[in-house]
Structure 1
């Protein structure tokens, strides 16, 4: 829908703004939930969440107009339509490479948190502070970064973000050197989180913008849906694969995290190859697609 209502030259910033809204909601949700739980039974939080979600659905239904232009071809969605998207080999290659990238995305709330507490001795509160720093960076830095990177090709932006992920996660293993110096351990993890969040701010808006650019105008929803499946697959495989790495490389912290960071390196190489296939016009952040 963003691609329908925002002109191509502003899409990257629009997706960045959407990302900020998601992070504000992610940050406020637990805070408000904690406040409400002081006065109401915990089970009521789920009821309030359901009512809030239903309210948003009603508001969208009543006040958000259809984004398709008048006269634009429409067709009733069928599950088999998703299969047609798989015939686009370039897009499917993009999805396959993105699985590797989103395997790195999935480390923050799983492997990173487990390693920080169980191996490095960080408290849950310290890990929560690191996550909060991630949200703060996105809220205040996403828009300036989105404007700055908009002059570059999408695959270049996503490749750079992938390398930020590879560097950030690959360095986590070095935190073990500060294990007996708790303040320095936290400082090192703080630097890691900063690097990883830079990758997130590069990748998140650019990856969605690229889907909008390379998909046919009347099939964007289907393409976004398939890309969403690919990203969810990466999110799921990331913790699972990293868990296997943790089990088999226990005690070899540097090798373990470098292995996890290699997902980002492989994704960056794949995106560079994709950029050569797409060409400059389709890969531009101001594509007319």
Structure 2
């Protein structure tokens, strides 16, 4: 029984091309070194001494740069190809992350964070397009899941190690690590993966629909709204939650990092079997996203229980399962719905929804906490999760009319 279960687990990882595995490896290297993001708000607030309002505005610049980078990355992927965009983005952002440690003024950080994220997030839509090229149509969702696993395994190692680096040599060590891993990852990619052009023979799954323009695809825009709401909730674990851990319960950076490590490990061990099981049973992507939205909402309502730090474990488990239900299938839905030749534009808007969510999540969360306290913020986030659930019901209805479910 145990041997059969282990073999079935291993089978989930079969059938990928060499390029997909290399993409997963460089993603792991890059994300394991991305230690700045989980501690950025703490760095700005506690090390540089900025106010909640100033931290919120710097994170707005983070999100605006991410939005611009996502759009540029998508457009350029359609124009000049995803390969060139990926190489330029990671190599340049590696150099810029090194420079960022020397900038400490408010306006300097606003401009620098905006510039860095514009270049860094050109990578994301280009990487999604590359998966559409290097992955077989029948295992595209699993390929997306494999890369997400690499992201989360990197995050599982990164935050805990990052917490130790902060306690040992300070925040500057994070910038050095982030810079080096960006450059190492893209050098491996450039050396081992040859550029492959998109071909018109890419087959899309049953969610694909031909439209004249992405801006006229109403179903896709409702889908983006769901992605935006759930991403607002998800980004709280990088912005308000680390502050809440420290200010209300006295947790160290290392302890906060361990909670993020739990998130990464759960995803590493469980996401691929969950995705494979859902695909074998042909469950609608939208229904899975609906369940995930509900789990995310519940994770924030749980935080209203005060006086016991153990609730953080249950909350992170709920949000992790919500993440596993939403993100792999939203990635696949977005890519499969894009008409031929428009993959970059669709994935640009998809990644922009996450960038906009980063702006809304950080700024709104900081403002609500500053004015009304943490409990009000958890109520707000839980309610946004419920709105996402309702939107998923509407999306299911529209897809049924379109005869795509």
Bin the TM-score by the shorter chain. 0.7 to 0.9
- Equivalent positions of 1:114-153 (< 5 A) are 114-150=243-279, 151-153=282-284
Change (3 A) 1:282 1:205: farther
- The answer to whether 1:187 aligns with 2:310 is yes
Alignment of 1:24 with 2:153, yes or no, is yes
Match of 1:242 among 344, 359, 365: 365
Q: Distance in 1 between matches of 2:253 and 2:178?
A: 25
Q: Secondary structure at the match of 1:218?
A: coil
- Among 386, 389, 397, the alignment partner of 1:268 is 389
* CA apart distance, 1:187: 2.1
Give the match for residue 319 of structure 2.
196
Spell out structure 1 runs of 4+ moving beyond 3 A: 27-52, 65-73, 120-125, 279-284
Deviation at 1:39, TM superposition (A): 11
TM-score, with length taken from structure 2: 0.57
Q: Distance in 1 between matches of 2:225 and 2:382?
A: 17
- Conserved in 2, the CA contact under 8 Å of 1:102 and 1:234? yes
Structure 1: how far apart are the matches of 2:196 and 2:267? Answer: 27
Contact 1:155 1:283 in 2 (8 A): no
CA distance in 2, matches of 1:47, 1:131: 21
Return closer, same or farther for 1:129/1:69 CA change in 2, 3 Å cut-off: closer
Which whole-Å CA distance do the structure 2 matches of 1:33 and 1:115 have between them?
18
Equivalent position of 1:182 in the other structure: none
Q: Aligned equivalents of 2:248 and 2:163: distance in 1? A: 29
Mean Cα deviation higher: 58-67 or 203-212: 58-67
Q: Say yes or no: does 1:53 pair with 2:176.
A: no
Q: Deviation per CA, 1:137-188: give whole Å up to 9, x if none.
A: 11111111111222211111111111110000111011x1xx1xxxxx2322
In structure 2, the CA distance between the partners of 1:283 and 1:118, relative to structure 1 (3 Å rule), is farther
Contact 1:106 1:238 in 2 (8 A): yes
* Change over 3 Å in CA distance of 1:111–1:48 after alignment to 2: closer
Alpha-carbon offset, residue 198 of structure 1: 0.5
1:91 corresponds in structure 2 to: 220
1:219 to 335, 342, 349: 342
Distance 1:194 1:95 in 2: 25
User: Which residue matches 1:77?
Assistant: none
Q: Residues 100 and 281 from structure 1, CA distance in 2 versus in 1: closer, same or farther, beyond 3 angstroms? A: same
Q: Contact (CA 8 Å) 1:275, 1:283: kept in 2 or not?
A: no
Structure 1 residue 243 displacement after superposition: 2.4
Unaligned runs of 5+ in 2: 1-129, 203-212
Alpha carbon RMSD of aligned pairs, Å?
A: 3.2
Match of 1:169 in 2: 300
- In the alignment, structure 1 segments of 5+ residues that lack a partner are 74-83, 180-184, 285-289
1:3/1:11 contact within 8 Å kept? yes
**1:117-152: CA deviations, max 9, x gaps?**
212343433322211111111111111111122221
* Closer, same or farther: CA 93–132 of 1 in aligned 2, 3 Å: same
Q: How far did 1:34 drift?
A: 8.1
The 10-residue stretch of structure 1 (164-173 or 10-19) with the greater mean CA deviation from structure 2: 10-19
Deviation for aligned residue 1:235:
1.8
1:236 Cα deviation from its structure 2 partner: 1.8
CA displacement at 1:64 relative to structure 2: 2.4
Count of matched residue positions in the alignment of Structure 1 and Structure 2: 264
> 1:166 & 1:194 partners in 2: Cα distance?
12
Distance in 2 (alpha carbons) for counterparts of 1:115 and 1:141: 28
Q: CA 1:282–1:64 in 2, change beyond 3 Å: closer, same or farther?
A: farther
Check 1:271–1:34 CA distance in 2 against 1; reply closer, same or farther (3 A cut): closer
1:154 aligns with 2:285: yes
The secondary structure found in structure 1 opposite 2:237 is coil
